[in-house]
Chains A and B, each alone.
Chain A
Amino acid sequence: MGELESFRNEVRDWLKASVPESLYGRPLTMMAREEPEAADLQADRKRYLERMVERGYTAPTWPKQYGGGGLTPPQAKVLQEELGRLRVPPALMGMGLTMIGPTLLVHGNDEQKEKYLPKIVTGEHRWCQGFSEPNAGSDLASLRTSAKLDDSGERYVINGQKIWTSGAQYSNWIFMLVRTDETTKHQGITFILLPMDTPGIEVKPIRLISGNSPFCEVFFTDVVADVKDVVGGVNQGWTVAKTLLNFERSGMGGGGPQRRPGATTGGGLVALAKEAVGERDGRIADTRTRDRLASLQLDELAYSLTLKRSAQTRKAGGAPGPEISMFKLYQSELGQRRDELAMALRGTDGLAVDENEVGPARAWLSAKATTIYGGSSEIQRNIIAKRVLKLPIN
């Protein structure tokens, strides 16, 4: 404990000295990219990123040799807590850090790890995920984008289409699943990496119900890829993809109460409800509203305790319990219940939309995606039924 505490002090001092104060209390909004930020703030963000990179703190638990911080998980948690205390946004986010990086650490060869990880850490490579296709969503393994080895045997030629590719328009690299064997399903898939500026790639943003365009269609016409960029072996892509999806899902639940832009937090809902339906002796005047809020708060309490229990079990060296399988499912549905209540309480005020701001209405709309991506709620239930509850398959 003593060691961890001295680490905390060290981190605290370092952060104080290194993080520009202009970034304190500034929540990071995923959608902020669409709005231009003041030049000096941008410069401060850049300075902050550089310092974090120098110390390996953008990827705190990755090995130092790849530009990571080499921290133990408890130390990384301390770092996160201290950043949280200053209410400073993470210096860098994205699928590089949360998905492809950790996957390369598991399945990548040395050459790939050396080539890609350091560039994820600095933010030079910004990754997107080319998995889904128009006819391969929940049934991802039915994907058809094909990769054929050319005569040299050193290059693949890729043809097909990906869809729902988040951030494709801002990314310079893509990790994707391609079909290398048409005669089988899961065993004919290969996981491959590709620069987005390769000739033959065309990106078309898709506009969402929330008005944002966070994702795209990506078309591939005779796109050439290097066989060296196959991860985990030819026709072994499904195994690699499963690892990656696990990282993706673990990043979606278990993160604790999420501060999504525009979303109303639990405490905020109480004030909102009292304002909306009035109060009597300190109680929300309308019993149905009060009930709904009480149930929601009880759900939030029970869920946050379950996250805590799970973390403590793992910290004590125990194997992760079955509870971790429910985090993505529960957190996304819980968040939607909260948004629904917030929308209902705002009444007609909630219907107002502002092009330039992520208000409650747009937050409510964009949160609808959380139960669809990363394995829909229905697919989560299928998976839990099979793997955790061990229910029979027909």
Chain B
Amino acid sequence: MALTLNGEQQLLRDSARNFVSTHAPVSHLRSLRDRNDDRGYSPVLWEQMVELGWAGIAIPESYGGAGLGLLELGLVMEECGRTLAPTPLLSTVLLAGNAVLEAGSEAQKSALLPAVCEGNKVMALAFEERSRFAPYQVACKAEARGTGFRLSGRKTFVLDGHIADTLVVTARTQGEVGDRDGISLFLVDPKQAGVKIERTTTLDSRNAAQCSFEAVDVPGDALLGELHQGADVLDRVLDRATVCLSAEMLGLVSQTYDVTLDYLKTRVQFDARIGSFQALQHRAVDMFCELELCKSLVLEALTAADEGRDDATMLASAVKARLTDASRWITRQAVQLHGGIGMTDEHDIGLYLKRGAATEQTLGDSAYHLDRFASLRGF
């Protein structure tokens, strides 16, 4: 219900803000990028984040987490978004980790989740096969062989796939490509024979791997959740991850706006600060309004997910559609309003533009989510 933060949540957000601004300012991302860091994030910093409890925020206490909600994790993501701090939270916790939490057997959960909470395990969810988000477009096959399965196929845009210790892979066990039914999830060890993983560096200096599976045999207990019913798990996992990614986007767009507003107040042309020009003032006001709307939607979507409400799915699409459009508009405006300096690599605004562009495509863009939003609302 509440669209306001309680005292503890405010504390958490403040401490996250403090932490990232001290230890992971934008210059941190910049240095990782400049040395083409193999992991794309700093393990040392990640360890500190883990000590703050971030990895296990939304994981139940019985598996070593803090047992808090998605809202709390979302607050942390938002703060990370503000400084573009790279973490494996999305890949390991929100995507693959949540799949284990949602669908895993007791044995699978106990084997994996405590290690996630301790920061000792990187996981990745290999589910995309196309360049445009389409989670049911699964051609990758898993055929029953003896007591186990044989996987073959390809996956793309596997976030942090090249450093994952464990992959969660979607594969078709029944039906046709595009069917919602007949998708199953499997735990795969990336070191296994037949698994090929190729790192690609994305525009935002993060990583998304291309994976291929050539006759990879996995045992029966590698199946995560029920056979053929993987889409149910996938939907829940993707919705939750989408909402948290939107929270990260809120952080990055808010910061973009703040930086731009500052620039409008300081840059002088025609003997006047450019922020005194009405054309620019009105644009800034419209961005301000948009961000207020975004804030409300993010809080509501996080809360709905935590409360397991019926409208949580509709809200997940609403928030991603909105934040995608907000990012597309505000990060582009930011570059424009910075003039030439905005085109330079030296200025941070370009990094926000690039991360914005990447998040806009990740887990579905606004065309995808607006379409889903309309369907869920009955039209």
The CB with the most chain A CB atoms within 10 A, among B261, B294, B318, is that of B318
Chain A residue with the shortest CB-CB distance to B297: A302
The CB with the most chain B CB atoms within 10 A, among A273, A308, A385, is that of A385
Evaluate contact between B282 and A313: CB separation under 8 angstroms.
no
Chain B residue with the shortest CB-CB distance to A266: B377
Chain A residue with the shortest CB-CB distance to B270: A394
Evaluate contact between B296 and A270: CB separation under 8 angstroms.
no
- Name the segment of B13-21, B68-76, B285-293 touching the other chain: B285-293
Evaluate contact between A326 and B275: CB separation under 8 angstroms.
no
Say yes or no for B374: interface residue by CB 8 A criterion: yes
Evaluate contact between A323 and B292: CB separation under 8 angstroms.
yes
Given contacts A290-B374, A298-B318, A298-B322, contact A309 B278 (CB under 8 A): no
- Nearest CB in chain B: distance from A391 CB, A: 4
In A19-35, which residues have CB < 8 Å from any B CB? none
Evaluate contact between A391 and B370: CB separation under 8 angstroms.
no
Which residues of the other chain, A, contact B62 by a CB distance below 8 angstroms? Answer: none
- Nearest CB in chain B: distance from A328 CB, A: 11
Say yes or no for A153: interface residue by CB 8 A criterion: no
Say yes or no for A291: interface residue by CB 8 A criterion: yes
Task: Please count how many residues in chain B sit with their CB below 8 Å of the partner chain's CB atoms.
Answer: 38
Name A's interface SS: helix
Which residues of the other chain, B, contact A308 by a CB distance below 8 angstroms? Answer: 3, 296
Which residues of the other chain, A, contact B264 by a CB distance below 8 angstroms? Answer: 391
Q: A339-381 vs B: 1/0 string, CB under 8 Å?
A: 0000000000000000000000000000000000000001011
In A266-323, which residues have CB < 8 Å from any B CB? 270, 273-274, 279, 282-284, 290-291, 293-295, 297-299, 301-303, 305-306, 308-309, 312-313, 316, 318, 322-323
Of the four ranges (under 10, 10 to 19, 20 to 34, 35 or more), the interface on chain A belongs to: 35 or more
Which listed residue (B275, B374, B377, B378) contacts A391, Cβ 8 A?
A: B275
Evaluate contact between A394 and B276: CB separation under 8 angstroms.
yes
Say yes or no for B4: interface residue by CB 8 A criterion: yes
Evaluate contact between A302 and B293: CB separation under 8 angstroms.
yes
Chain B residue with the shortest CB-CB distance to A306: B296
Chain B residue with the shortest CB-CB distance to A287: B371
Question: In the complex, A291 Cα to B377 Cα: how many Å?
Answer: 13
- Nearest CB in chain B: distance from A34 CB, A: 36
The CB with the most chain A CB atoms within 10 A, among B282, B286, B288, B292, is that of B292
Which residues of the other chain, B, contact A295 by a CB distance below 8 angstroms? Answer: 370
Given contacts A293-B379, A389-B261, A391-B276, contact A322 B374 (CB under 8 A): no
Question: In the complex, A239 Cα to B261 Cα: how many Å?
Answer: 29
Given contacts A290-B374, A293-B379, A301-B297, contact A312 B285 (CB under 8 A): no
Evaluate contact between B4 and A330: CB separation under 8 angstroms.
no
Chain A residue with the shortest CB-CB distance to B278: A382
Which listed residue (A270, A298, A381, A394) contacts B282, Cβ 8 A?
A: A381
Q: B355-379 vs A: 1/0 string, CB under 8 Å?
A: 0000000000000001101110111
Q: B295-308 vs A: 1/0 string, CB under 8 Å?
A: 11101100000000
- Nearest CB in chain B: distance from A195 CB, A: 41
Q: Would you give 9 A-B contacts (Cβ < 8 Å), ordered by A?
A: A283-B379, A298-B373, A301-B318, A302-B318, A308-B296, A316-B4, A330-B293, A389-B285, A393-B276
Chain A residues in the interface with B (C-beta under 8 A) = 270, 273-274, 279, 282-284, 290-291, 293-295, 297-299, 301-303, 305-306, 308-309, 312-313, 316, 318, 322-323, 326, 329-330, 378, 380-382, 384-385, 388-394
Chain B residues in the interface with A (C-beta under 8 A) = 2-4, 261, 264-265, 272-273, 275-278, 281-282, 284-286, 288-289, 292-297, 299-300, 318, 321-322, 370-371, 373-375, 377-379
